[in-house]
Structure formats: structure tokens, C-alpha cells
Structure 1
Amino acid sequence: MNSTGRTSPTRRSSRAPILFAVLAVLLVLSVLVSAGTGQLAIPPQEVLGSILHRVGIDWLPLPTVPAGDEALWAIRFPRVAMAVLIGIGLSVSGLIMQAIFGNPLAEPGVIGISSGAAVGAGISIVFGLTVFGQWTTAILAFITGLIATLIVYSMSRADGRTEVVTLVLTGIAVNAIGGAAIAALTFMGDTQSREAIVFWQLGSLKGMSWSQVLVVTPIIAIGLIAAYVSSRKLDLLALGERNARHLGVNVELLRIGMILVVSLLVGAAVAFAGIISFVGLVIPHLMRMILGPAHLPLVTATALAGALLMTLADLAARTLVPMAELPIGILTALVGGPFFFWLLRRTRKRSGGWG
């Protein structure tokens, strides 16, 4: 601590390797426990043994329960893998949005991007579109999510800065329009389509398959690489638009590129898991409080923490209620809602009121 009570940048940067190691260990443990939890209880060492056997290492025993190994690879591992991928996508998209808007309140669910993406997914389901094959739902979710993002971006900008109140109010409007569109699609669809749309509104990882994991993995990888590549420019943008331009950053091009990345990440997550709010709000903010504003370590920490949160949330969704499964979106909202209230109040105090 320095004389003002703030943690120095050097001390914060020294925390990064420790934080990465802790998050990585916790993530591995949560994956092993989550994969082993269910009607067929499999100990973590046997879950790890199953993974090691697949790569030719015979250190630990295989699952001893009947059909345990088959259950892991056919049902549980795809679900856990999707939880990790979606956690990374939502948390990193939140980090990027907070950077390009210059506002800690920016998050795909809060400002309506998830709802916009869900509209595209709903259109694909109700009308049975197959224009892009198995990618149709994800691509339409990306397009409508991008439209929602551009609306929020254009409406919340004034005099070269993002207005907090306008950002939140625009998000409310976009969420309302998206909700109305989803309701209309629900009315128009058949029973199967309606069930699928309701599933999206609640959020769930039930029934994930390896084919879906293979679709989402390259999208999340592209978004993560883009975040790493752009991390230094995002640091410069945090200094202010004028300073960033003087230092050679094409601010508008950076924003548009990052908006595309966010839409891609959110579209992939919404297309297969539904609307899961507040992951992109809570995780980046917590990591920034620990590590400071530098985006290169923040991307890694945010990705690990987001994957950990989603894995634990999915585990809780499957175990809190006996013989039933809670929608994962409900759990993240129960955690993220109070955090959002606190963050809103904290931001207002720092701004000296919004008049």
C-alpha cells in the first residue's frame, strides 16, 4: 500500500501468477467434481483416471460403476466442456465491453445484447431455418446480437463519451424489445419450438453434445485471441480517446472490431445455452479489483474465473434440488443481481450523482 491506501501497480502485477495458479487449480478440481456428480457418482480420481486413459496414461483407475466411463464421455464431459467455454465467452465479452464503453456497468445481459442474440436464435428455431447448416442458429444469434450491440453503442454515445444513464436505459429498451420479439416467436411456434424458446430464456446446459462443443470451441478461441491481441490498445483506450488517438490507436476501428468479437462470443453462448446474465458483469469487475486495469493479465484471469463460475453454477443447478435441475440463468441472476445493485450505487457515488 502507498500513502493514499491504494495498492501499487507493481504489487498488483505480482499477484497475477498466483491468481492464475489458484484459478487454474480450482477450475480443474471443479471440472473433476462436476463431471463425477450425478445419479452415477464417480470419485474425482476415477474421473481423472478416465481422462488419462484416453491419452494413454494408466496412472489412476477407471470408473468402477457400471457404464461410468461411457456416461462421462457421452453426457458429462460435453456438458462440463460447454460450461467452461461459455464461461470464458461471457466473461471475456463483458471485459471487452467494459473496456470499449469505458464503463463497469456494461455487460451483454444488462444492456440487451443477450436478448438480441436470443431473438435470432428464436427465429432460427421457429422457422426451422437451415441456411448455414448446423451454424444457422449461432450465426443468426450473432447477427441479431450485433444489431443490438450497435444500437446500444450509437445511443449511449454523446460528445465522445459513453453516458452511464443512457447506457442502462438503452439496455432496458433493448431488453424490452427483445422480450417482446421472443414472446411473439413463442406465440407463433409449435409446442417443440415454444419449449426451446422457454429454455433459452431461462438458460441451461442440459443435453449438450460434442458436436455443439466443436461448433463453439473455434468461436471462443477466436474471441479469446482477439482479446489478447487487442489488450494493449484497450489499455491505451482506458487513458481516454484523445490520448489513445495521439498514441496511434484507431479508436473507432478498435471499437467496431471489439463489438464484432463481443457479438460473436455472446451469439455462440446464447445459441446453445440460452440467456445467462451477469457473468460478464461480475467476473471482469472482480478481477480488475484484484489485478488492476492492465488488460493482458485481465483476459487470462477473467477467462479462468468465468469458466470456474459457470462450472460451479452448473454443478449447483444439478444438485441443489433433488431429482430436478434448476435453470442456470436463475442462479447467475441471483448472484449477479445484488452485485449489479452494489456496482450501480458505487459507480453513482464515484460520479458524484447523475443529476
Structure 2
Amino acid sequence: MSHKHRATGPRHAVLHHLPLLHLILLLVLAGAMTAGVGVGAVSIPFGEVWKVVAAHLWPGSVEVTWSSGRDNIVWEVRLPRVVLGAIVGASLALVGAALQSVTRNQLADPHLLGISSGAALGAIIVLLHTGMFLGLVTVPIFAFAGALLTTAVVVGVATVTNATNASRLVLTGVAASFIITSLGSLGIFLGDPRAAHTVIFWMLGGLGLAQWAQLPYPLLALAICGAYLMFNARNLNAMTLGDESATTLGLPANRFRLAVFVACALLTGAAVAFSGIISFVGLMIPHLVRMLVGGDYRRVLPLSALVGAIFLVLADMAARTVIPPQDIPLGVITGLVGGLFFILLMWRKRGIG
């Protein structure tokens, strides 16, 4: 069956309206972020949310009719959290899509290579052993360093053992992940039991500690690494055909795969450092996007970023409102939704061997 024939039907209609789809998703993201700021223990009208934002971005542009308490809730508490959610969701979705290409593994996600485990180990060291000796940035710095160190170890071991093909590199990452997870568990066992609950909550993910001063770091990683991945969308398409086909097309498969892993490590490390470990976003969102627009990474990457941002903003809003005033760990919400999504996906494809 030809590719042109497969593109008929609902997917064909979507492909003919891609610019409109991008615009709709941008509007949905703006609406979700507005709702995320307005909804909570103190409900704030959406119009007032926009006025508070305008007053901070363009002082004097609107008349201030709200209390300083509401101003603080919108600008200092909820908006940084919502913006961080959008950045992390976009980052994890991009990483999942890219890893699924270069590993040719549809179940690949940011945790596959132990990147998140390395970030968790860095956070455990700070929270249970060294303390916040650099202030509030101590945990993000150590988590980011742990993610990069893990990636360096995986790439180094893969290079030394000549395990740079897709399957062996994945196995190297899984082995590194087991080792680093065990070290993290040892760190929890040897640490102060009274502080263990903080580590557990961080490992389950959440956006409650978001601050404006922290946002430039994950945003810069998203801008640089996201641009690199989108610029190489054609190469990611070639990698889905296999190493031999990619090499025939003039792409050095092993070198490109390692470069993508480094970019994914930077993205994941920057995201996990400020949000904790959030599962299933990188695994689920690319699948959902490919169901809509097919497998061309020129379409998959930007749409995955938008859908991932929308999904995590909505998931965080649910985490804050399901059992008020408690914050459910964000990883619990994404895990439940992701697990149900894949059960549904398997049920739909039950006739496929």
C-alpha cells in the first residue's frame, strides 16, 4: 500500500490543515495556562489573570483593581508554576520523540538511558546528605549535574565497548539506570529518615517549587536543544529506517545518535532538575501525535512540543484541584493517564501481531 494511499481519510484532512492545527494548539495552550493560573484554592477570574500579567509586563497599561494578595498569587506563585509546566512538558515530549527515532524503539522515553535516575541521585545527595549549601538552587544544580554525569557514563561505556548501535546503547543505558537507581536507594537508606518524605515527593514529580529565577535554565535548554532536534528532523526520519539506510543516505548514524543523546540529556536534565521525575509524557505524547499526523518528524516534533506543554499544564491543574488543598504528585497523574492510554492503545491494536 502506497504512502499516498495511507494518508487518505481523517489524517489526510489533518495534514492539509497543519498551520490551522498549530494555531489551535497555541490557543489551547494559552487557554490552559490561563485556567492553570486562575483555578485553585483561591479562584481568580481569567480576565483578572490577564490584567495582572499585563500590569507586570507593561506597568501602567491597566488600572490596578485587585489586592496585593491576588497579585502575589498570580505572579509569584501560580504563573511560574504554569510556565514551568509548559516548558517541562514540551521538553519531555521532544526527548521522547527523538529517542524513539534514534533507538527505533516505540517505548523509548527520557528515563530509558538513566538520565532521570542520575538527576534523582543528585537530588538525594543534596536533600539527605549535603544540605542546601548553595541556597534554593542547590537541588537543581546537583540534579542537572547528575543527569549530565549519567549521560557521560553511558556514552563513555558505549564508546569503549563499541556499543553505539541502537539496541546495545539502550541496554547500556538500562544497565546504568539500574546501578544509579541502586545508589539512590542506598542514599535514601543511609540518610535522615525525617527528610525522606521530601525526596520521595521530588522523585514523584511536581511543580510547586517553581520560581521566576529558575525558569531561564530549562527554557534555554528547550530553545537550544529543541532547535537542534527540529533542524535535524530529516535526519531523525532517516534514523527510523535503520542504521544501514541512514548511512546510505549520507548520515553517520552512530555519531548522530550520540549527539541526539547528549541533546536529550541536556533537555531532560534541565527539566527534571526543576520538576522532579515525571513519567510517561515522553512516552505517550509522540504516540498520540503520530496517530494524528503520521511519522514525519518535521511534523511530529513541533506538535509533540505543543501537545506535551498542554498536557502537563492540565495535569498539574488536576494535581492541584483533585484533593484540595493537597497537591498530588504530578508523576502520579501522568502515570495514571499514561498507563490508561497504553492499555487503550493495545486494545485498539489487539488484532496486530
Q: Given the two structures, how large is their TM-score scaled by the length of structure 2?
A: 0.84
**Residues of 2 paired with 1:106 and 1:182: CA distance?**
22
Q: Percent identity, please.
A: 33
- Unaligned 5+ segments in structure 1 are none
Alpha-carbon shift at residue 60 of structure 1 (Å): 6.7
- Matched with 2:37 is 35
Q: Given the two structures, how large is their TM-score scaled by the length of structure 1?
A: 0.84
Paired residues of 1:313 and 1:332 also in contact (CA < 8 A)? yes
Q: 2:200 aligns with which of 198, 201, 213?
A: 198
Does residue 17 (structure 1) correspond to residue 22 (structure 2)? The answer is no
- Matched with 1:137 is 142
- Matched with 1:259 is 261
- Matched with 1:243 is 245
Residues 181-196 of structure 1: matches in 2 within 5 Å? 181-190=183-192, 194-196=196-198
Amino acid aligned to 2:207:
L
1:155-181 CA-to-partner distances (Å, cap 9, x unmatched) read xx9895538xx95x8777555444322
What do you get for the CA RMSD once the two structures are aligned?
A: 3.5
1:291-318 CA-to-partner distances (Å, cap 9, x unmatched) read 1111122211111111101100110000
Alpha-carbon shift at residue 101 of structure 1 (Å): 0.6
**Residues of 1 paired with 2:324 and 2:37: CA distance?**
17
The verdict on how the C-alpha distance between 1:71 and 1:23 changes in structure 2, with shifts beyond 3 A counting, is: same
Residues 1-355 of structure 1: matches in 2 within 5 Å? 6-8=6-8, 11-56=13-58, 64-65=66-67, 67-109=69-111, 112-125=114-127, 126-128=129-131, 136-147=141-152, 150=155, 162=167, 176-190=178-192, 194-341=196-343, 352=353
**Residues of 2 paired with 1:160 and 1:345: CA distance?**
32
After superposing the two structures, state which structure 1 stretch, 330-339 or 86-95, moved more. 330-339
Alpha-carbon shift at residue 233 of structure 1 (Å): 1.0
Paired residues of 1:91 and 1:284 also in contact (CA < 8 A)? yes
Paired residues of 1:116 and 1:141 also in contact (CA < 8 A)? yes
1:229-251 CA-to-partner distances (Å, cap 9, x unmatched) read 21121112223322221222111
**Residues of 1 paired with 2:185 and 2:249: CA distance?**
47
Amino acid aligned to 2:151:
L
Alpha-carbon shift at residue 22 of structure 1 (Å): 1.9
Partner-residue secondary structure (3-state), 1:281: helix
The verdict on how the C-alpha distance between 1:33 and 1:159 changes in structure 2, with shifts beyond 3 A counting, is: closer
Amino acid aligned to 1:141:
G
Alignment length, in residue pairs?
347
1:320-347 CA-to-partner distances (Å, cap 9, x unmatched) read 0022110000000001123345557888
